[in-house]
Chains A and B, each alone.
Chain A
Amino acid sequence: EAGVTQSPTHLIKTRGQQATLRCSPISGHTSVYWYQQALGLGLQFLLWYDEGEERNRGNFPPRFSGRQFPNYSSELNVNALELEDSALYLCATHAWGNRETQYFGPGTRLLVL
């Protein structure tokens, strides 16, 4: 069974640009979580999508947004990129009947120059 996949693995952007990160869940998983792992700040919860709806968001500005598609894959968009957005962005998913256990993808490393 394939695990959680994320693309691209690396992304380089400049300040002010937009970044789009993608996540495909494990088959049968319906919820997607996004986390930011920035140097010195640890893992911070960003967003949670379930059944196509945004269910919860962390303490991040509105320029961080996303969506979940009918096939449960998800996209994270970061607008007006700032230098401090440079981080590893991790996606995690869980099954509908097993919401407590999240399985993580390998992450997308975003570098903002």
Chain B
Amino acid sequence: AQSVTQPDIHITVSEGASLELRCNYSYGATPYLFWYVQSPGQGLQLLLKYFSGDTLVQGIKGFEAEFKRSQSSFNLRKPSVHWSDAAEYFCAVGARTGTASKLTFGTGTRLQVTL
């Protein structure tokens, strides 16, 4: 069964500083990988996804993530954080087998941005 670990429950960064959110996954084959963002009281917005090919993927809002098979990681990065980036971030892995497409989510990392 697939699983996702986000080791950081809460991260605080200053506006303008760089950001890296960690994500490790467990899956028997090459997974589909996603990062979603959730603002307070809102649903989830897709930031970026990895299916295959280039291991560095670009997303919306200036985010990028790098798939590292050897480390089973898919860390999210942003070179300069804006106050509006404060939210909860979820890493997710999707199954590739058959028609099953349910997502397994990590427990999330809450990002606080100080001015």
Query: Which A residues fall within an 8 A CB radius of B?
Result: 4, 6, 31, 33, 35, 42-43, 45, 48, 50, 55-56, 58, 90, 92, 94, 99-107, 109
Contact = CB atoms under 8 A, between A and B. Distances in A.
Given A104-B36, A104-B45, A43 B90 contact: yes
27 contacts: A33-B102, A35-B103, A35-B105, A42-B106, A43-B92, A43-B103, A43-B105, A45-B103, A48-B100, A48-B101, A48-B102, A55-B99, A55-B100, A56-B100, A56-B102, A58-B102, A90-B44, A99-B99, A99-B101, A100-B49, A101-B34, A101-B49, A103-B46, A104-B45, A105-B43, A106-B42, A109-B41
Residue of B41, B90, B106 contacting most chain A CB atoms (<10 Å): B41
B32 A100 contact: yes
Question: Chain B at the A interface: mostly helix, strand, loop or mixed?
Answer: strand
Interface residues of B, number: 24
Given A42-B108, A43-B90, A104 B102 contact: no
Interface of B: 32, 34, 36, 41-46, 49, 51, 90, 92, 94, 99-108
B91 to A, nearest CB: 11
A110 B61 CA distance: 31
Contacts of B102: 33, 45, 48, 56, 58
Nearest to B49: A101
Contacts of B94: 100
Contacts of A99: 99, 101
Given A104-B43, A105-B43, A50 B99 contact: yes
B104 A107 contact: no
A30 to B, nearest CB: 12
A109 to B, nearest CB: 8
B105 A107 contact: no
Contacts of A4: 43
A94 B49 CA distance: 14
Contacts of B106: 42
Nearest to A44: B105
